[in-house]
Amino acid sequence: MLTCMSMETIGFIGIGVMGRSMAGHLLKAGYKVVVFNRTRAKADSLIETGALWAESPATLAARCEAVITMVGYPSDVEATYLGDAGLVAHAKPGTVLIDMTTSCPELAARIANEAAKRNLHAIDAPVTGGDVGAREAKLSIMVGGEKAAFELALPILKHFGPTVIWQGLAGAGQHAKMCNQIVIAGTMMGVCESLAYAQKSGLDPRTVLQSIGGGAASSWALNNLAPRILDGNFAPGFYVKHFIKDLSIALSSAESLGLDLPGVTLAKQLYERLAANGGADLGTQALYKLYVGERTVVSSQ
């Protein structure tokens, strides 16, 4: 049985495009925030506004009542949580561990199981909403884990967005995130093909967006990323390389469920082509470059 505990000090591991904004929201809410990132310079702006630095996940864990992680790949999640110098081995009993990385459902379940053996409470809580959602605290958060652990984490998670939904036991948050990425995969192809078609047919793509952006074709990607495409802005709100990782997880999970996802398979192939042409560190909207025949992608502009 879990009981309420004071969570005044929160650790945050992974100060990237989204993590920086999210950790900043915790600082503004009055929490003491301890941060760690493989590249310390990325945390400098947070440290300047009051965050404390930790030299490793292990030393961070020992100082916190809750720890949030948003790292890159499942291998990073596994090392951060289950390595000899990881959170599960070094967190204080009763600590709430919140992984907000998009990772494997099976790994999330394993972390929760190992955490429980040490009287720790682990949940998987991936998000959707991109850099804008993180900056404006409008993320949607999908949570897997014990319901009581979810309720302990809820006051923290609400600082990142108004939509925080418990999906089920450990791994369920990651499965829900795969549902999200499957929709995005098809939608991004549709957005890019639509803009390419508008351009080739002699239409003004911006005028087209005025018509279709409020109709049945309306989507977050169309209304937020299509304007970036038309502005030539391919900076990452979400990296191509991370989207390829997510689509790989989705396909692997689908295979284990006996499910064929041809749309996701095609999207992964296209994004892998984009990455091979130099676009791995661009935003997902850079897929448009393939449709208009830009063979080499080397920058965000």
Catalytic residues: 177
Q: Compute the distance between CA of residue 111 and CA of residue 97 in angstroms, rounded to an integer.
A: 10
* Letter string b/e over residues 10-28, b meaning 16 or more CB atoms within 10 A of that residue's CB: bbbbbbbbbbbbbbbbbbe
Strands, DSSP E only, in the chain? 9-13, 32-36, 52-53, 66-69, 96-99, 121-124, 127-128, 140-144, 163-168
Question: Within a 10 A sphere around the Cβ of 179, how many other Cβ atoms?
Answer: 13
Quick check: 82 and 111 in contact, CB under 8 A? yes
* Nearest by Cα to 289 from 216, 237, 211, 233: 233
Cα–chain center distance at 27:
20
Are 237 and 283 spatial neighbours (Cβ–Cβ below 8 Å)? yes
| Residue closest to 274 by CA, chosen among 169, 157, 185 | 185
- CA–chain centroid gap for 239, Å, is 10
| Nearest in space to 218 (alpha carbons), one of 195, 243, 197, 187 | 187
CA-wise closest residue to 279 among 264, 262, 301, 263: 301
Instruction: Give the phi and the psi of residue 171 in degrees, each rounded to 5.
Output: 100, -20
Tokens of 287: 């897929």
DSSP state of 17: T
